[in-house]
């Protein structure tokens, strides 16, 4: 067994410094000797066979179970080396990868009932979990780092501001894109598909002046979003429904969807965009924010599909754009965010680990290792492989948005001034 393990790992790990101790106590070192070294140990023969026979699934499971032990470095360091090799999966596991690609349409068949179950699996976890590592507004999607030293909370606020600017919530902005003066001429009706805990919708209602309807399939998110709207006195302007987007029958001036499209499934892309076109007003604007692949179509990691996001899939633009073209929607802007999500995930991971004892009290040690692996593997997929985030702006007419992107910068400045005006200035004691 030791010889087989050595032979196969030697052909896969060619970069970095990777030291492995087998369950029999034999130690091998792989890689080219560069970078920070890591050391791992197999605690059982079953873990060795599992990783050899099905590395994409059993690697994560072995770490969760404690039979794959990191002795030097962290699991994030280990994953950085593994995901930074020449191939996405070891060559001996490529047949499994091909078979899983062929099977992906069944896995991503997400009718209404299955979509609700998939969402509940991840988003209806104990609410205390998310409060331990997300920002204060519970933004569970890629932040927008305007500068390298920006805090997570400020970067998430910048993300909301950036999306609001692309939605053009001031309809009296002239076609050339100069900033609007005064308040909007009409109250825009806005739909937030996959509204999460309501943070973005509340921002768009509060600072954008929109009348917001948010929809989610998560009971936890639905309850918290409406409670937050009540606490902020925005219930009349922001309401959140426990509803599938496919069941909405209305018309909206603006549509936004952030971090939801990854749960739609490749079988349902045309349905998503046809429904969006039906819901969007003739002079409306839609912005879609989603994780994407810089390369071609692929399949979901079996470990991620089993433990984290059942029914989920990260699309390539080559899978998304043809479906948009069939629905009458026009692509007016595409922006690619590359390392923004890697930094977001790094901060989430560090915050999560800082509270690992609390998470273990809520769940157990295996759950802690599972989520550490999830956050670390996701981060390294953005750093070492081909993942990114895309924001696609859509309209039904060519003249709905300005010809140049200057209006985004102007609108962001207007929104930031409004945010600053709300902040209570700090005062020294006794002032």
Question: Residues 93-122: pLDDT tens digits?
Answer: 667 667 766 666 777 777 888 888 888 889
User: CA 123 to CA 119: how far, in whole Å?
Assistant: 6
Q: State residue 335's pLDDT score.
A: 98
Report CA torsion sign: 356, 359, 364, 366: negative
**Beta-carbon contacts of residue 43 (< 8 Å; ≥ 6 apart):** 23, 66, 67, 68, 69
Two structure tokens written together for 117:
């179950």
pTM for this entry: 0.90
**Structure tokens that stand for 302 in this block:** 């079996």
pLDDT at 382: 96
Class of domain 112-422: alpha beta
Gap between the Cα atoms of 202 and 183, Å rounded: 18
What is the C-alpha separation between 108 and 100, in angstroms, rounded? 12
Give the distance, in angstroms, between the CA of residue 426 and the centroid of all CA atoms in the same chain.
34
How far apart, in whole angstroms, are the C-alpha atoms of residue 257 and residue 318?
19
Structural domain boundaries of the chain?
Answer: 2-105, 112-422
| Beta-strand relationship, 330-337 and 280-293 | unpaired
Rounded Cα distance between 127 and 228, Å, is 14
Handedness of CA 250, 251, 253, 254 (dihedral sign): positive
Q: Which residues of the chain have pLDDT under 70?
A: 88-94, 96-97, 100-104, 171-185, 424-431
pLDDT of residue 179: 42
Could you tell me if 22 and 30 are in contact, meaning their C-beta atoms sit under 8 angstroms apart?
no
Comparing CA positions, the residue from 353, 311, 255, 299 lying closest to residue 102 is 299
In b/e form, how buried is each residue of 39-57, taking b as 16+ CB within 10 angstroms?
bbbbeeeebbebbbeebbb
Instruction: Please say whether the beta carbons of 282 and 252 come within 8 A.
Output: no
């Amino acid at each position: 067994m030791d010889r087989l393990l050595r032979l196969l790992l030697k052909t896969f790990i060619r970069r970095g410094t990777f030291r492995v101790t087998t369950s029999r106590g034999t130690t091998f070192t792989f890689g080219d000797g560069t970078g920070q070294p890591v050391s791992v140990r197999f605690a059982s023969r079953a873990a060795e066979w599992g990783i050899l026979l099905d590395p994409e699934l059993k690697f994560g499971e072995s770490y969760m179970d404690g039979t794959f032990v990191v002795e030097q470095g962290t699991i994030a360091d280990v994953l950085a080396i593994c995901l930074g090799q020449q191939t996405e999966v070891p060559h001996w596991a490529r047949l499994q990868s091909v078979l899983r690609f062929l099977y992906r349409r069944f896995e991503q068949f997400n009718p209404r009932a299955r979509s609700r179950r998939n969402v509940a699996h991840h988003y209806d976890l104990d609410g205390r979990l998310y409060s331990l590592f997300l920002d204060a507004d519970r933004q569970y999607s890629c932040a927008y780092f305007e500068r390298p030293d920006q805090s997570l909370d400020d970067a998430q606020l910048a993300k909301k501001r950036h999306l609001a600017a692309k939605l053009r919530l001031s309809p009296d902005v002239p076609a050339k894109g100069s900033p609007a003066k005064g308040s909007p001429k009409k109250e825009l009706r806005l739909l937030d598909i996959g509204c999460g805990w309501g943070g973005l919708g509340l921002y768009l209602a509060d600072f954008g002046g929109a009348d917001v309807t948010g929809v989610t399939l998560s009971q936890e998110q639905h309850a918290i979003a409406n409670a937050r709207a009540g606490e902020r006195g925005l219930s009349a302007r922001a309401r959140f429904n426990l509803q599938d987007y496919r069941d909405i029958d209305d018309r909206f001036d603006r549509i936004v969807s952030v971090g939801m499209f990854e749960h739609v499934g490749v079988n349902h892309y045309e349905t998503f965009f046809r429904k969006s076109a039906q819901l969007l007003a003739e002079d409306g604007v839609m912005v879609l924010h989603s994780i994407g692949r810089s390369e071609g179509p692929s399949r979901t990691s079996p470990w991620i599909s089993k433990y984290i996001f059942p029914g989920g899939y990260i699309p390539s633009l080559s899978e998304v754009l043809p479906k948009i073209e069939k629905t009458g929607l026009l692509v007016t802007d595409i922006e690619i965010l590359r390392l923004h999500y890697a930094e977001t995930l790094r901060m989430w991971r560090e915050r999560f680990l800082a509270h690992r004892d609390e998470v273990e009290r809520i769940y157990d040690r295996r759950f802690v290792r599972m989520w550490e692996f999830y956050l670390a593997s996701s981060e390294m997929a953005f750093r070492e492989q081909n993942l990114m985030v895309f924001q696609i702006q859509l309209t039904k007419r060519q003249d709905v948005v300005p010809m140049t992107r200057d209006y985004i910068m102007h609108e962001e400045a207007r929104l930031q001034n409004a945010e600053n005006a709300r902040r209570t200035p700090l005062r020294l004691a006794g002032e």
